[in-house]
Structure 1
């Protein structure tokens, strides 16, 4: 007497159970296992996003209030000078951060692609800063850029008394210290993306271009880099996402100061939601930040889905 039967999948089914029941179990069991994680994500991610949007339509201050005022908080936000400083800083910081990281990352990747000696050690050195948190990066660069302790004090100690590097305490230059620290941390990550893309290209592309007499700079500029457009696009998306969400680096490095000269939307949102007890206004700024992230992610996801559909 047989105690088990075998389905078309090759799995044994205990005696007394029908193949239909086993097939239904195989279909629903993964869904049942994933259901708690999906429900938690829906509640604590997307549910809180929706709640934040609802709060942005109310006159909430210290505690949530559900007296709806429409888009009045958004109008207040648009009339707030500090918000426009934060938005301008985001444009400066994001543009320089993304641009410099792309140039440095591509340059380092091309350098390592020449099969130089100690490539593994150099790759580790360049990539290591990405293993640090932005809090650690901010604290370290705050020490380095402190006029009384860091670079300026060191150079003056060498006898160059007229040397000045006070960007950290200069309202007009403080935002550029954020760029320095962020580029130092993220450029190695971009290098890894470009290096993976370079190593994934067919060697015949290099050989064909060299047979045509292309020099090495022309080879990379006219042939190789155009082939890496997906890598460039992915790097821009990731770096832009990091720039929009930057909070910990600002808090650790400049604290948004001097004054609020180096504020970014993330620190503006935190300050008004928690420090100034204006939850409605802070929620409105958070919704606009989410809109900025979606403006970056939606085209990226669309391009990915389109490439898979036509691939």
Structure 2
């Protein structure tokens, strides 16, 4: 049967914010080619950016047309929130006030609160009520918290933020250390904030070498490296990329967005988990309502936190540290939504 004979589903509508930016530029082809939602899933893209970027966005739409991909049933460039969010099934919040070299995350908060307040209101008003939401723009956890705060009619479990990039970075560091393919490493965890306080945790992770699955701690045989250099490298990787490229991660971020959404859409493998920022239900003594990265399993589109993982004092200390930062960020953001 040729690909043209396949029975295609009804198109889904996907909004991408910051659609004229560099992450979106790396992301759009992967979505349009069927790599994320499936080879039988047509898509209509709603591409949102600010008014001065509309000419650039027209160029992006020309390129989408020029790829001649059969799954693309439309690409709508817009600077209007109603047009952007109308009836969307998936919302990818890539756009945010950008972080530049030497900039602190807190510098981003007040500008981003305004953006995510207006976009949250539009999401609540116009989107499909079961829209799947992924916030990428930094500070991602807190932007997601604000977005959800202003979109109360959408289920809380439909809000996520991206920590898959950190998850992939952690896998990459272990794979490089052990000279194996990254897909041999599974069940790493990113706890907490997508920031330099995040806790990349490999105590439950395994690696398959010569067909044998082994705990990462046993395979690496260097607890000092795992507790120090490894954690620090993953925590600071985003800043290291900015220092080297003079731009933030784009190719790897786009790949992580696709991984996150593909797993959410199709499910995780049996006995395997991924890292996602979600609205906390209180698991692992994390403040309820905080957007916190957990180990997540996905079945039939439903996200669930992996429970009862062992926790030593060192791990607890790192988890508490990232939680403390997130609580402070959340409180600062809430103050910014209601300035005196």
Bigger proportion of residues as strand = 2
Bigger proportion of residues as helix = 1
**Of the two, which has the highest radius of gyration?**
1
- Does the alignment reach a TM-score above 0.5? no
TM-score by length of structure 2 reads: 0.20
RCO (CA 8 Å, sep 6+): is it higher in 1 or 2? 1
